[in-house]
Amino acid sequence: MLEKIKENPLDYKGYLEYGKYLENINLKQAYLTYENALFYCQDELVKIEIQNKLDEITYRQGKVEPASIVILSYNNRQLTQQCIESIRETTPESAREIVIVDNNSQDDSVEYLRQQDDIVLVENDFNAGFPGGCNIGIKASKKENDIFLLNNDTILCANSLYTLRMGLYEKDNYGSAGSVTNNCANLQSVFKSDSIDELKEFGLRNNVVNKRSEIKLMLVAFAVLIKRHVLEKVGYLDERFFPGNFEDDDISLRILKENYQNVLVYNSFIIHLGTVSFKKVDYSGILMKNYDKLVEKYNFQEDNGFYCFTHSETNVAFYLNQIKEIKKDNAKILVVKSDLGAAILHAAYLCPQFEFYGLNNTVSCATISTHLEGVNIEHYFDIENNPFKSIKFDFIVLDSTVIQKDEFEKYMTVLKNMMDDDGTMMIMTKNPSFYMNWYPILKGETDAGLNKNVVYCNDVNDMLSKLNLNVKTWIFNYLEIPNEVREEIEAIQNVVGIQNHVTVENVAYIVCK
């Protein structure tokens, strides 16, 4: 059944068999699969049989409404045309509606679009930006359809939309689904090539059923599909993020707060050529301006901290390599100060054999992270009375760089008691030997140096001795020294010795038992 699809993703027979199987598992996915079988089938008698199945599932309330594909056009007619043609080549008409919003293009885009009989065209006499333009497209779409926000600098591969819809309808509480690609942030890039043909071939082989999806904190809106009833509940894109950037972070967070999940569908690969619309504007300036709007909207700036890690690679799970060494399949992992949850979610995806827990004492983050599926994140006011204090953990992660020095002993005492007898703790801490802590002093900058309220390596070492915890490993990452100070730093290093770690990064990692 699935092997048939993998052998030939363009043959209806595998989808026909899979649809029959899914009728008793997931009726909506069965509908999508029969629809895909009908798309590939050329046998008129079999097509009648498949259509009867679709009618039967519709009667049984299993129909999935089409996706209205909302695409913004702003000049770059060739890109828009290429995108539209890829949709026509890879998707059945019954599965989609193409809605194009032209943001006052000055090239021949509108002339081309007016000639297309199978699209809904909205012609703006102004540039509404990305969120504003998408909202106009959503309002112009059929009211019952799901919404697929798609950049015009994309190319759909075979089955891209089918597998994306299958991922979205895997569970009732999935609110949005995103595709993987060749060019994207948020760990959504899975294959790179300069050849469009190679990318299409990868998509053909990648876009088959039965691949595990990943729950994400947010999805990048170059290609994101949202269930219509979810979108109507959470509201459309926030136009304060004009002309674009962070409107996708925002709507992802709103979807989560309504108890729906954002899911990255690894078997839906779409080619993304890259940011084209922003090339002639101050992209970095817009990015920072809209980031500040997101921080303000969600009140992420609390206790002088930095808590807005929406993209998975922004807040890397620094403990990932260590937990991969754990042999116990059902090990319990606790991450203290787990932020919004982007890093712990990715770790949970990579290590599904473990149970992941997170503690967060920031209210604005907890209102979002406590809704995440697949990880157990809870809010706490006081570490001594945290909701997981009675659980014994196999691995505990603590980022001491976001803890005041006078709180450190309390945290360590509580967490030691939460460790299993054979448990391990990993602590990220500030490295006092990092050259930027002392080099500015040599240059006469009197406000440089160590901060008495910060936990450093020596503080951790002293605390571990006090609590009878044994250091297993110290981890320092050596970085390149900036060229403008390299000669002076190397001269000092020759005097004090490399073992003093004068060229390492600002943090160190201590693993103890």
CATH code of the domain in which 202 resides: 3.90.550.10
Q: Quick check: helix, strand or coil at residue 67?
A: strand
Residue 135 pLDDT: 98
- Which tokens belong to 319? 């403990």
Q: Are residues 197 and 345 in the same domain?
A: no
Q: Are residues 11 and 93 in the same domain?
A: no
- Which tokens belong to 29? 């996915």
Q: Are residues 361 and 268 in the same domain?
A: no
Q: Domain span at residue 435?
A: 320-512
Output the CA torsion sign for 338, 342, 343, 348.
Answer: positive
Residue 510 pLDDT: 86
pLDDT tier for residue 2 given thresholds of 50, 70 and 90: confident
8 A C-beta contact, residue 505 and residue 431: yes
Global model pTM greater than 0.85: yes
Residue 303 domain-assigned (yes or no)? no
| 78-92, 94-108, 295-309: least confident range | 295-309
Average pLDDT over residues 304-324: 74
Q: Quick check: helix, strand or coil at residue 503?
A: coil
Q: Give the strands of the sheet with 332-336, arranged side by side.
A: 376-379, 355-360, 332-336, 393-399, 419-430, 507-512, 471-475
Backbone angles phi, psi at 74, to 5 degrees: -145, 95
pLDDT per position as a tens digit, 384-431: 999 999 999 999 999 998 889 999 999 999 999 999 999 999 999 988
Share of residues in the chain with pLDDT > 70 (%): 90
8 A C-beta contact, residue 438 and residue 444: no
Residue 40 pLDDT: 98
pLDDT per position as a tens digit, 91-140: 999 999 999 999 999 999 999 999 999 999 999 999 999 999 999 999 99
Instruction: Please tell me whether the peptide bond between 9 and the residue prior to it is cis, using omega within 30 degrees of 0.
Output: no
The DSSP code sequence of 365-401 is: HHHHHTT-TTSEEEE-S-GGG-TTTT--EEEEEEEGG
pLDDT per position as a tens digit, 21-61: 999 999 999 999 999 999 999 999 999 999 999 999 999 99
- Which tokens belong to 4? 């048939």
Q: Are residues 224 and 337 in the same domain?
A: no
- Which tokens belong to 72? 């913004």
| Cα gap 393→355, rounded to integer Å | 10
Most confident of 164-168, 432-436, 488-492, 493-497: 164-168
Residue 501 pLDDT: 46
pLDDT tier for residue 507 given thresholds of 50, 70 and 90: confident
- Residue 352 carries which side chain, given as an amino acid letter? P
Q: Are residues 30 and 148 in the same domain?
A: no
pLDDT per position as a tens digit, 145-199: 999 999 999 999 999 999 999 999 999 999 999 999 999 999 999 999 999 999 9
Q: How many domains does the chain have?
A: 3
Q: Domain containing 403 — which CATH number?
A: 3.40.50.150
Helix intervals (H) in 141-282: 160-168, 196-206, 228-234, 247-257
Among 361, 394, 356, which Cα is nearest to 376's?
A: 356
Helix intervals (H) in 41-76: 44-59
